[in-house]
Structure 1
């Protein structure tokens, strides 16, 4: 590969533009157009690939709809009522608010589908609750909030899983099912770690919620608690597609907030739609750039070349998965998760198929890796978000989050070496993989 090779020029263009501050989606589109020009191909192919990819992929509609449902929840009072319910369940134990933080992430995982949305929305509220009155160190509260937010995109619904389904062709429904056990396992490991830390550091015990108040708290939270039931029930019963279920989730969140809880105003609705549109546009440009760049990768025959190269080493499926884990963990420290899914995984998926690795199992491994990357120093995105929200230093945050990071790596190792644990629920519901 020489410096005058069209693909080399394309990569230099993308990296150079990204370093100059251009969003990576725009940089990929520009680099791909330069490639088409240098290779003597029709530059209109870039627009064709972009339009075909964006307008023929029905699955992509789920992304803005999940984003909208999360924004509606965060703008209404659904989050406050769910937090009260979580506090009633586990708040009475030592380190109760820390346990509430974990439990709310497990519950909210079935609603927003985004780690960043969970951290910026509910996570901000949890940070304030935990640090109020100096109950918990601010750095510990911020670290726990970042760690628990990672659960969101593993337990369905999940925007990263939707994007993986787009590039792999695997069933979203079975991918959603496959994420449940790993997500719950991660949540249980975090709760165990919180319990041990609470005893060692003598975290406070919250005032128990009287038993007579539990029915009322549960009843007030019930409409919000029904959201994941309706969402996932529609998908797995076959009544709705995942995209239709995402639309129902957004509509349900709005109706509950507006009619039942009566916390939605016209101004609030406008701000919610505006915020959702901005987030969707940001992700949409990244997807558009990836679609065009993936065409370049296909023309260059890179997936097949890499597959043949790796087969030359006679790797076993386990060795390949270990290499993928290391690669994605390193990339997760440096790149945004959506970029990894849309650019890196399409190159790795053909090799996984040749080695006989189940694509549903492979997808969950990849998503867990990418989520861990969000809290991995030095450039984990959630680390920067929580240093801003918690007003803590990056050094203190990294020190507090390290035990949770180790626990997640243990969870990653378990699901890598025990595929039956990941595929148990999909197979129960008829998956043949």
Structure 2
């Protein structure tokens, strides 16, 4: 491979266009077309790969539907009621509001499937609640919100796992189940950091909610709490596919917000649909660009070449997984998560399969790595979101997030070393991997 090689030129083109500010999806499409021209291949191949990939993947419809569900929950009062429910149960402990932040992220994870939706929805409310009256330093509140939002795509439903299922042919149902225990483990790790920080920094305790009010608070939040039950019950009860369940989730969020809570109007519903369309278009362009570029990678036989190169190191399955962790953590500092899922992961899958690594466990390890990239500088998209929401500097937030990042890295190591953490629940439901 030389500097004048078509593939090398296409890689350089992607990097240069990205640095100049062109969205990465557009950069991949343009660079793939450049490769086809230089390699003398049929230009219609790009369109063919894009159309075949987009229209033959029914599972991809779940992505915009989960985005719509999350937007409708944020527009209505579902998030507020969930926060009140969490506060009633854990707000009375040291660092109570910080623990509420962790618990609400675990609950919200069972509804949105998106870390960004979690941070932009419940995260805004938590930032305001935690900083009112100087209860918590703004940077600590922002760092905790970014760290807890990472749980969103691990506990089902999960948009990144939908995309991983697209590139790996793994069962989306079993992938969803595999994320439950790792997600709870990550939440527990963050709660422990909160408890230690609360005692050391003397964070305030919230006034306890009287026991007589608990049934009312629970009943008020009950319709929102039922959303994960409706969503996952349909999938694992065999009544719906994941895509159909995503559609039901979006309709359920609209129904509860509009008819039961009466907290959403036509204008706010329209704004939610418009925001969902923008997010979907952004994700769609990434997927389209990746599908075309994956054809280029296949033509160049990159997966086979990489597999042959890695086999020279005589890696064990565990050694390979540890190497993948290192590579993905570094890439997560620089690249957007969907790009990694669509471009890098397909290249690693053949080697993982050859080593006998379970594709469901591998998917969980990959998705956790990619989510950690959202809170790892210098790229760290969630860090930038919380910088905008909180008004704190990036340096302040990074300093506060380091203990949470360390706890999450320990969780990742346990998930990697102990496949049973991911596979116990799927096997309980009949998975044979």
Q: Tell me, yes or no, whether TM beats 0.5.
A: yes
The residue number in structure 2 matching 1:341 is 341
| Matched residue SS, 1:110 | helix
Give the CA deviation at 1:19: 1.4
Output one character per residue of 1:271-308: Cα deviation in whole Å (capped at 9) or x when no partner: 01100000000000000000000011111111011101
Partner of 1:13: 13
Matched residue SS, 1:109: helix
Secondary structure of 1:3's match? coil
Residue in 2 aligned with 1:134?
Answer: 134
1:176 aligns with 2:176: yes
| Cα deviation 1:126-178 (Å, max 9, x = unaligned) | 00000000000101100100000000000000100100000001000000000
- Distance (Å, rounded) in 1 between the aligned partners of 2:193 and 2:307: 40
Normalization by structure 2: what TM-score? 0.99
Gaps of 5+ in 1: none
In 2: Cα distance, 1:377 partner to 1:143 partner: 12
Q: Counterpart of 2:64?
A: 64
User: Which runs of 5 or more residues in structure 2 are unaligned?
Assistant: none
Partner of 2:154 in structure 1? Answer: 154
Match of 1:381 in 2: 381
Q: Give runs of aligned pairs for residues 20-419 of structure 1, distance below 5 A.
A: 20-419=20-419
CA–CA distance in structure 1, aligned partners of residues 303 and 191 of structure 2: 40
CA drift at 1:18: 1.3
Structure 1 runs of 4+ with >3 Å offset = none
CA–CA distance in structure 2, aligned partners of residues 5 and 189 of structure 1? 47
Deviation at 1:394, TM superposition (A): 1.3
**Alpha-carbon distance in 2 for matches of 1:22, 1:393:** 26
Instruction: State how far apart, in whole Å, the 2-side matches of 1:378 and 1:290 are.
Output: 23
Distance 1:106 1:233 in 2: 18
Q: Deviations over 1:236-256 (max 9, x none)?
A: 111111000000000000000
Q: CA deviation at 1:395?
A: 1.4
Partner of 2:264: helix, strand, or coil?
Answer: coil
SS at match of 1:197: helix
Q: Displacement, 1:421?
A: 1.4
Give the Cα separation in 1 of the matches to 2:178 and 2:391.
36
Between 1:303-312 and 1:58-67, the stretch displaced more is 303-312
- C-alpha distance in 1 between matches for 2:285 and 2:39: 24
- CA deviation map 1:301-327 (0-9, x unaligned): 110111011112111111111110000
CA distance in 2, matches of 1:141, 1:12: 39
Q: Which whole-Å CA distance do the structure 2 matches of 1:354 and 1:129 have between them? A: 50
How far apart in 1 are the matches of 2:266 and 2:323?
51
**Residue aligning to 1:429:** 429
TM value normalised by structure 1: 0.99
RMSD: 0.7
Tell me by how many angstroms 1:12 deviates: 1.7
Partner Cα separation in structure 2 for residue 21 and residue 421 of structure 1 = 40
Deviation at 1:3, TM superposition (A): 2.1
